[in-house]
Amino acid sequence: MALNPPPLKLYDSAGLALNNIHEFVKEQGYAVSVFRSKTDKQVPPAVRKMWLRCAKGNDYTKTARKRLTSSRMTGCPFTLTLTRTAIGWQVEVQDPTHNHQAFAHTRALPHYRQRTEETKKTIADMSASSINPSKILTNLLKKDITISIQDIYNERQANKKKLLGRLSSVQALLKALNEHGGDDPESKYYFAHKEDDRDRVKYLFFTHPESLKYFQKNPDVLLINCTYKTNKFKMPFLHAVGVSNTGQNFKLAYCFLPGETEADYNFAIQQIYLLYCRYNVTPKVVITDKESALKNALRTYFPSVPQLLCLWHVAKNVLTHVQDN
């Protein structure tokens, strides 16, 4: 029986191409799997080219050489590529030869047991550890699992939906904070939020229980700074950072703000002030950049605490002025 290669066709999508190839080669009595892929440097990364090989083939890496001794592998040279072109996905056969007979039961091949519970769990676990989809793809392909980057995106989207239920991401966050929040500083989040007249979250302040433990013992130095472009709502994100007695920084609290007016800063600084009151401690110094709205808010809640400028910002200012002159 000739193990014919799949037709050198052009397909509209990679998924369609892979489905057709799998169906075709199954009829021929062999199986193929993607063993390598190349992605574009765009966001989200899109696959540009895939290399497929026969289920009896393998690459000659260290781990693969070990597997070659198993009865499943014959080092079959059959390989083909799937390339994205301007007009579609092109199939090309690099080596049409096989060094084995057709299999009687191609369905039983591991390559057709795609997206098992185990694969799904791997995707969920790796996603939970903030591993990006292209790294997950590489990981699964190395395990001989036939999967595309789109499958991984779909799986992640399904997991996210399951996790959120019918809530929006902000509603889900508030629900989680409510479940994990409370007065016990040993195990509970401290958080506060405020909505606008259309019930949209305007301010959200939160601290991790572990941060609160550090804070009680190290309340002296308080650093405050805002970062931008951290979220899709384009809200400035305020960080309050403490310094431990060994000189290390720790994250004290975070606050999403609608803007950077004095009223906005007042909300965040009031919450920080309440934290100081809660543990009956006071800061000895506050360090900020030269943001006057922030400095005013600090003067309101911590009138007697000296404010210093962050050394990094001072150095940056010196440089700017030196360059100007």
Instruction: Lay out the site mask for Zn ion across 87-106 (x = CB under 5 A, - = otherwise).
Output: -----------x--------
- Helix-helix angle 133-142:117-128, to 10 degrees: 140
The answer to whether 287 touches 310, Cβ cutoff 8 Å, is yes
Cα 92 from Cα 7, distance rounded (Å): 9
For residue 54, the minimal CB distance to Zn ion (Å) is: 3
For residue 115, the minimal CB distance to Zn ion (Å) is: 23
| Residue closer to Zn ion (CB basis): 37 or 106 | 106
The residue ranges of DSSP E strands in 55-165, in sequence order, are 79-85, 88-95
| Residue closer to Zn ion (CB basis): 56 or 84 | 56
Gap between the terminal Cα atoms of the chain: 83
| Residue closer to Zn ion (CB basis): 98 or 193 | 98
| Residue closer to Zn ion (CB basis): 76 or 272 | 76
Asked whether position 202 contacts Zn ion by CB under 5 A, the answer is: no
For 154, 240, 267, 305, the CA distances from 253, given in Å and listed in that order, are 34, 5, 13, 19
Instruction: Lay out the site mask for Zn ion across 237-256 (x = CB under 5 A, - = otherwise).
Output: --------------------
| Residue closer to Zn ion (CB basis): 78 or 254 | 78
Contacts of 236 (CB under 8 A, 6+ apart): 226, 227, 228, 256, 257, 259, 260, 264
Q: SS3 of 85, please?
A: strand
Cα 49 from Cα 54, distance rounded (Å): 17
Please give the size of the binding site for Zn ion, defined by CB under 5 A. Answer: 5
For residue 1, the minimal CB distance to Zn ion (Å) is: 12
For residue 66, the minimal CB distance to Zn ion (Å) is: 20
Tell me how crowded residue 37 is: count the other CB atoms within 10 A of its CB. Answer: 20
| Residue closer to Zn ion (CB basis): 53 or 202 | 53
Within residues 110-129, the interface with Zn ion by CB under 5 A covers: none
For residue 85, the minimal CB distance to Zn ion (Å) is: 26
For residue 233, the minimal CB distance to Zn ion (Å) is: 52
If residue 54 lies in a helix (H) or strand (E), which one and from where to where?
A: strand 47-54
For residue 119, the minimal CB distance to Zn ion (Å) is: 23
Within residues 28-87, the interface with Zn ion by CB under 5 A covers: 54, 56, 76, 78
Residue closest to Zn ion (Cβ):
54
The residue ranges of DSSP E strands in 196-231, in sequence order, are 201-207, 221-227
| Residue closer to Zn ion (CB basis): 100 or 142 | 100
User: Which residues contact Zn ion by CB under 5 A?
Assistant: 54, 56, 76, 78, 98
